[in-house]
Amino acid sequence: MPKKGKVREYVDENGQKRFRFTISRQSSKIPGLRVTKEREGIKTYEEAVKLHDKLREEAKAELAVKETKGCSWANVVQRFGYAYEMGEGFDPPVSKATAIDTLRGLEIHTRDWWHLAAADMTKLMVQSLMRQLEAQGLSKSRRRSIKGYIGAAWTWGRDNSLIQGVHHNPIEGVKIGRSAKKGEEKPPEVLNRTEILKLMETSTIYQHPWRVIWGVALLTGMRNGELHALEWSDVDFENRMLNVTKTYNTRFKKVTSTKSGCWRTVPINDDLYQLLAELRATSQGRKHVLPRFKDWDRGEQARILREFCASIGITSVKFHALRASFATQLLQTGVSAATVMTICGWRDYETMMIYIRRAGIDIQGATDKIQILTPVEAVKKIVPLFNLRGGT
């Protein structure tokens, strides 16, 4: 029989008397390991008691099995991250920035494994993750880093008895796929005009919560951190200008100066004015221009954009590609490279040249005078000759 109060009576939405209970068993051997079972909507107290006793034994058995395997991957990562940042058991200790990058990488890219026992992680899972990251456009060095993070956390968990019953690290034997050769330049990811229009139209139809963030990014060319830090005090509606003076550092979770260290202004066109007016009308006293999402604070903006782009059938790009798309659109409409550099905050002309080549404006019309095909009228006279007997 459960203790008095474990099975509770309540009234459901239809006014019927029902019973519910929660069973929670915590491991005395492994901190943070717990098994929980809940049931509700049970018609009688006797039925609830019977089910409670059955699930209590199931929870006990399940906990015993989990104790033989050790902690969940989430628990291992969280405890590893704390120890890594504090330098506990690491010689030499790592910098705070390295610790934050490591934990963030694990949280973002291995979240699907969170509730899995770390002992159940396999080489196949890591291989699958590496292929996913490659498909998302992550560089070979970045994929290698994430693989290293997984291996380091798993080894630490095993050495600290959080992972039991296995000895082979799941990253062993996992190879990182080929990426661009050293010195080989890859063209920047961009959305063309048709894709931009489809992104904004579809996200508006479905009222995607990131719609306004993507819209402002595509109309200003601002970096992710600059958008995150943008405040209403930076918006000059009267002169139709945005003042870009700061950026949000996701690693240290604080606002700093822009990447180049210089402030700049971005003109507000009609579309941007309309979008900002819409945001201001719904801001409800919020000091930041754009809404706040936990996924954005955690640095998952690239994943969210890639997934949505893929779902609507356009090029699956990372968030930074919106900035590249803005620059390319300006160049293709005839805005000078010097002006684009000023608006976007680039100080390196070599970087600017990548977008000039991507837009194709440096070679437009260069081949117009080369003609090797017969004029259309002449072709009409020549073609019938091939229909004569003996023609080929």
The per-residue pLDDT for 371 is 59
238 and 297 belong to one structural domain: yes
Scanning the chain, the segments in alpha helix (DSSP H) are: 45-69, 73-86, 96-109, 123-135, 140-159, 193-205, 211-220, 224-229, 270-281, 294-297, 301-311, 321-332, 337-344, 349-359, 376-382
Q: What one-character DSSP code corresponds to residue 288? A: B
**What would the mean pLDDT of 17-35 be, rounded to a whole number?**
82
Q: How many whole angstroms separate alpha carbon 208 and alpha carbon 211?
A: 5
Domain range enclosing 241? 193-359
Band of pLDDT at residue 222, cut at 50, 70 and 90: very high
The per-residue pLDDT for 4 is 45
Q: What is the mean pLDDT of the chain?
A: 83
Which H or E element spans position 21?
strand 17-26
331 and 212 belong to one structural domain: yes
Asked if 190 and 317 touch (Cβ cutoff 8 Å), the reply is yes
324 and 250 belong to one structural domain: yes
**Cis status, amide bond into 188, omega within 30 of 0:** no
In three-state secondary structure terms, 201 is helix
The per-residue pLDDT for 203 is 95
Ranking 205-209, 306-310, 356-360 by mean pLDDT, the lowest is 356-360
95 and 64 belong to one structural domain: no
199 and 348 belong to one structural domain: yes
Tell me whether residue 280 is in a domain.
yes
280 and 353 belong to one structural domain: yes
Band of pLDDT at residue 20, cut at 50, 70 and 90: very high
Q: Which of 69, 86, 104 is the last residue of a domain?
A: 69
Tell me whether residue 183 is in a domain.
no
Is 50 exceeded by the pLDDT of residue 386? no
- 208: domain CATH number is 1.10.443.10
C-alpha closest to that of 319 among 332, 305, 307, 333: 305
Number of domains in the chain: 3
Could you tell me the CA-to-CA distances from 198 to 27, 77, 313 in Å, in that order? 52, 39, 9
203 and 331 belong to one structural domain: yes
Band of pLDDT at residue 388, cut at 50, 70 and 90: very low
Tell me whether residue 330 is in a domain.
yes
Could you tell me the CA-to-CA distances from 88 to 29, 106, 107, 239, 265 in Å, in that order? 21, 19, 20, 54, 46
36 and 123 belong to one structural domain: no
Tell me whether residue 113 is in a domain.
yes
Q: How many whole angstroms separate alpha carbon 123 and alpha carbon 170?
A: 4
Q: Comparing 354 with 185, which gets the higher pLDDT?
A: 354
Whole-structure pTM value? 0.59
The per-residue pLDDT for 73 is 93
Q: Is 249 exposed, middle or buried (0-12, 13-18, 19+ CB in 10 A)?
A: middle
Q: How many whole angstroms separate alpha carbon 290 and alpha carbon 210?
A: 9
Is 90 exceeded by the pLDDT of residue 67? no
Q: Is 288 exposed, middle or buried (0-12, 13-18, 19+ CB in 10 A)?
A: middle
Strands 34-42 and 7-11: unpaired
